């Protein structure tokens, strides 16, 4: 019974992680589509001889790109930085401390 419960917990954690990754990929695709549309619109509205490479044509891509990078870091960095089992180990450590404090 305990093994089934642990498998269910692992499954739920994996499902939660997959949903976060899927959310990031969705965010990335929307970023690409919208920025491509902005680029096309800006190119179509250029005057004859006008250069596309002006600072105002890159604001959306730049600032949204920062948000996209932060989103990616929030999803992929914890497993790289803290390790794959960090959360589980920390939970076990805290539960062990709690049990030890009950008997004091």
Residue count of the chain: 104
Residue 5's alpha-carbon distances to 12, 16, 70, 93, in angstroms, are 11, 16, 34, 19
pLDDT at 25: 97
- Token reading at 28: 């990335």
Q: What would the pLDDT profile of 67-102 be if each residue is shown by its tens digit? A: 999 999 988 886 666 666 777 777 888 888 766 776
CA distance 5 to 32: 41
pLDDT at 103: 55
HEC states along 28-97?
Answer: HHHHHHHHHHHHHHHHHCCCCCCCCCCHHHCHHHHHHHHHHHHHHHHHHHHHHHHCCCHHHHHHHHHHHH
Sign of the C-alpha dihedral computed for residues 91, 96, 97 and 102 taken in this order? positive
pTM exceeding the 0.75 threshold for the entire prediction? no
pLDDT at 79: 65
pLDDT at 36: 97
Q: What would the pLDDT profile of 10-26 be if each residue is shown by its tens digit? A: 899 889 999 999 999 99
């Amino acid at each position: 019974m305990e093994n089934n419960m642990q498998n269910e917990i692992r499954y739920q954690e994996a499902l939660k992680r997959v949903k976060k990754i899927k959310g990031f990929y969705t965010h990335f695709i929307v970023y690409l589509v919208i920025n491509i549309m902005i680029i096309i619109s800006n190119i179509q509205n250029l005057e004859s001889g006008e250069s596309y490479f002006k600072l105002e044509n890159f604001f959306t891509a730049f600032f949204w790109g920062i948000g996209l990078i932060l989103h990616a870091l929030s999803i992929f960095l914890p497993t790289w930085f803290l390790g794959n089992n960090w959360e589980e180990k920390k939970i076990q450590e805290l539960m062990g401390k709690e049990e030890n404090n009950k008997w004091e």
